[in-house]
Amino acid sequence: MAAALGGGLHRQLHVAVMVLLWSTAQAQNTGERCQTPNNRPGQCISILSCEPYRDMLNQRPLPPNTVDFLRRAQCGFQGNRPFVCCPSSGTGQVTPSTTTTRRPPAQGSNQGGGSGASVSNVDNHPNWSYLRTDVCGADVNDRIFGGEEANLKEYPWLALLEYQTRNGRQFLCGGSLISNRYVLTAAHCVTGIGNTRLIGVRLGEHDIDTDPDCKTYADGNVCGDPVQDFNIEEVIAHPQYQSESRDKHHDIALLRLDRDAPITDYIVPICLPSGSVANKRYETESLIVAGWGKTENKSASNVKLWVRVPGMTNTACAPVYQRQITLGPNQMCAGGEQGKDSCRGDSGGPLMTVDSVVPRRKGGQWVIAGVVSIGPNICATAGRPGIYTRVGPYMTWILDSLKP
């Protein structure tokens, strides 16, 4: 179930369900300052503590403009429960706007449900135009890279997910920008990581400790652009993902940003698999995983890292984890070499390669093959590969979930 509040007429039932969930949840007041959709000062709190919004939810049926207003009032998440920016007392009446954003209707029944069947050609999907196929996956790096630390312009689609924790704000997961408005990540990163609350997404980052980031090369000092921080307008976890399951099947999710991400030398979406590429299994290919080594359990680096890992067949991988999980056809394995693993990247980050997915563009483009999902207890251990969610089988679900 998507951890989002509202999103259009067809999501009214979902909002009602979320109200029932809130009725059994303990209210938590974070006290953070924010602005309501009407640009009034407020606090980011549980909807249980916000009387004006509770009154809105009592309307039956929920008007579309109310659904949209409550969605835009979101200011973070704790597990599956959205928090809202509640207007401070004395700021006037809260009135939803009359405009609403409608989600395009679903275009197929393929939910990536574990069949492992071939993916039909998604290039003709009506929402395909929301993707930036004119620029996606472009290798904007203008220097030869080597070693484990990425250069400033490498992997410009990498995203950091920021959480409110007991120890302050921290980056605990990663993701990949796939369009101007959406980030692809793992469902386990958005359905609750301990006592944390997902509050934002950062793009254009290289070194978390500096802004802007600068590097010295043989021909001089180069500085990147300032980072871009975004609020999250909507969280969409795959409906078949079960957070309590150890198998982590369907561990994939989308985050809708609160505004369009600019396309720059340091922020570019990665391409999604299309055509025959969507059916590739990458079992004998060399792949790249990149990120900051941020996971829900530990952090490894403040600078962007990358590592090359070999793909592996599910037949070879399944026995390695047979005592812990049952490997599904929509999962894939890569790694298993001593000292190299996806713990060098982020949970929710991309497993990627260069492939030809945009026929009208010369050469190959970077395409996302998988999403970092599960790793061994001791990462980078020989014979213990990382487990990823395959992106190809979920292409119809991804496209069905997009809106302008």
Annotated catalytic residues are: 188, 251, 347
Q: C-alpha distances in angstroms, 120 versus 42, 44, 253, 265, 368?
A: 47, 43, 21, 33, 18
Q: What's the N-to-C CA distance of the chain in angstroms?
A: 21
CB atoms within 10 A of CB 55: 10
**Residues 232, 182: Cα–Cα separation, whole Å:** 10
DSSP 185-222: E-GGGTS--SS-EEEEEEES-SBTT-SS-EEEETTEEE
The partner residues of 387 in beta bridges, in order of sequence, read: 333, 374
Spatial contact of 191 and 228, defined as CB atoms under 8 Å apart:
no
Backbone angles phi and psi of 215, in degrees to 5: -135, 145
Tokens matching residue 168: 């302050």
Backbone angles phi and psi of 116, in degrees to 5: 75, 10
Q: Is the dihedral of CA 204, 206, 209, 212 positive or negative?
A: negative
Backbone angles phi and psi of 267, in degrees to 5: -135, 110
**Residues 4, 52: Cα–Cα separation, whole Å:** 19
